[in-house]
Every structure is written in structure tokens, then in C-alpha cells.
Amino acid sequence: MTTNFKVFTLNCWALAVVSKNRKSRILAIAEVLSSSEFDVVCLQEIWTDRDYQLIRNIVSSVLPYSHYFYSGVTGSGICILSKHQIEETFFHQWSVNGYIHKLHHGDWWGGKGVGLCRLKVESETDTFYVNVYSAHLHAEYNRASDDYQAHRVLQAYDTAQFILLTSSSADLVVLAGDLNTEPGDLSYRVILTMPGMTDAYMQSGNLSQDMYATCESYKNSYTPRSLIKDKVLGKRIDYIMYHPGSNVKVDVKNYSQPLPDRVPNKSYSYSDHEAVMVELNISRDIKSSRNMPDDTIKWAVLEEGIMLCKEAQKSIARTRVLYWLGVILLFPLLLLSLIVPAVVNTRFFDSYPALFSVLRVVLTVLTIFCFLMATLWSKIEMHGVKSGKLAMQVSLKKLQTNHDS
């Protein structure tokens, strides 16, 4: 006997004030989910508690169990809603997650990480324990010059190791979310390879262009017109991945983007991302075992990751020098702005007191900022990258030892 298990994921793009049509879109998302038959729903970018509570209350009749992963200043943005009982939860916050001073990106402020809900899925003939993970990796703001590649790869490795180390007793492992990485990227390969995940899209057989793009899709109302005009396919960065446990067989019955192109009676889409739904068939199979990828694939991925970490360490060291140069240049100017007006009696200084007050404030802020970035922040980022690199080296050494033996 098989058990159907339907997974839904959507990046809801629910930034307060900033996101267009947020309130009406969140209400529309909640209404769709309330009439759905999904077993588990993973949402990202739910940044306000009010939006979470609204969705939770509206869908409670069909998804009675829910959990929000609070983290950072604004919250992780991640929540999981379930038809089945949530038995355990855990949140792992990543050690590197963007920059505190880049407010226009804001990833650091969310305290991002990977959330886990362990579900007890009961059918008429069997009970399955399913580990559902949801994550939202650091955004790629500029693919040509990506300042966050190392951060995202380390987040992917952390997520992969977290799944590997917490899923040994699970009958099924599911990872759903906005991973901000395209197929073939190192982050994508790390998440697939290390814990042995399967990309449901690749297994579904539904590889049409209509089902490909989950961001910047030509169907989406929020996609820039220039991309639509140039017939840009869009990016697949939202995923549902899975891995069966021992003695369990999983088949992909259906893969789709279940939401209409527009909110009913509106001119806009549900989000700037497309939702993804996967229906899995789960069954017991005593012949099945937890298959893992070939070690040579892991070996290559780890070597590439370690090399990227080494380059990131060099970049952090160079940036640290630049911040120290900033301190060296700015601090004397700050002293001059304090000393010169006091010892030189000129009408110029007396005529523009407000100007010199503003100048002192600006110089003070910039000097403190450069000092903190050169000391505390550089050290934090360096330790985060070094920690990830050392973890990869441990995994690589294990593979090398197994190969030699």
C-alpha cells in the first residue's frame, strides 16, 4: 500500500511596506491553502508575525499544526504548516549570512537558517515519520559579481550536514524552499550530494518550460517587462527535494506549479516567485536502502567548496586591510575637525558652526564603522568561513581514508 504525501512551497515576498500588494496577496495565499489538500506547506519570506497568524488562522481547518522559526531581528521568514502532527522542531542558524551594514539586502537581519519539523504521518495501513526541512539561502543579487557566493555555499553545506546528521531515523526526508541557487551551481550540488537528496523536478518527467522558472517567470506580473520582452526563461531557484529512509520507497507522482498566474479578479500574481507542489507516493520496501551518491562526486564538490573558502578568506583579509586604511585616514581628520576650530580663531569657523558639527558626526560614524568592520566583523566572518572550511576538510579526509582502505 502507498501513502500520498503532497508538499507545497512558496516564497511569499511579504516584506512590510516594501512588497507590493502584500496584504491582499497574503490573504489570497491563505485562502488558496485553506481549500487545499496539501500534507505540508513550507513558506518563506513571511516577515511579520501578523501575516503568519493570519495565514495560520485561516488554514487551521485543513492544516491544524504549524510552526514559525523565530530568529534574528526580523525573524527567519520561514514557517511550516502541516496536516499531520508536528512532533519535534529545531532551527539551525547559519554562521555566515551576509553583512549587517547592507540594509538594502537585509539577509543578516533575518537571522536565516534551516528549520526542521518532524511529522508523524499516519495512514490506514502504516505510520511514517517525515523530517521536513525548509530553508531560504542568501540571495544572489548580482550573478556576474557575487559577493555572497561563499556565504551561500557554506549555508548549503551547513544545511546538507544538518539534514545528514538529523535524519537517520526518518522514513522520508523533504527539503523545500527558496535556495537561491540554480541547477548546476556549487550550492545546488552541495545540497544534493552530501545528504543524497533528489531534485523532484528532475524525477517528475515534467520538464516543460512552463514548469521550469520559479523566479522571473514570464507568467509572473512582477517580472520586469524587459525580461519578458527578451523572452528570458527565468530562474529555477525554488525546490522540493527528497530522500527515502531505509526500507522505504518514494516515487514522484506529480510535479506542478499549482497557483494560477494571477490572484482571482486581480491584475497581479500571488508572489514574485512561483509556488511548487510535489506529490510523493511513499511505500514500505524491505529491499530498499538509503542510497548515497558516489564518493567521487562528493570528493569533487568538497574540493571545490574548500577552494572557494580559501579564496573567501583571502578576500576577507584584503577587505580588512582596506578598513584599517579607512581608520588610519579618517581618525586624523576627526582629530583635526576637533582641534583646528579650537586653536584657530577665524570667522569661517564661527560662521558655519552647524556645518562643522555635521562634519564631526560623519567622521565619527565612519571612523567607528571602519574600526568595527576591521576588528569585530572581519573576525566573525573569518571564523564562520574557517569553520565551514574545516568541516569540509573533515568530510574530505573521511572520503580519502575510505578510498585508501
Active-site residue numbers?
Answer: 273
What's the grid cell of residue 99?
553583512
> CA 293 → CA 198, 200, 299, 301, distances in Å?
10, 16, 11, 12
Handedness of CA 217, 222, 224, 229 (dihedral sign): positive
Distance CA 154, CA 152 (A): 5
β-pairing verdict for 40-46 and 2-14: parallel
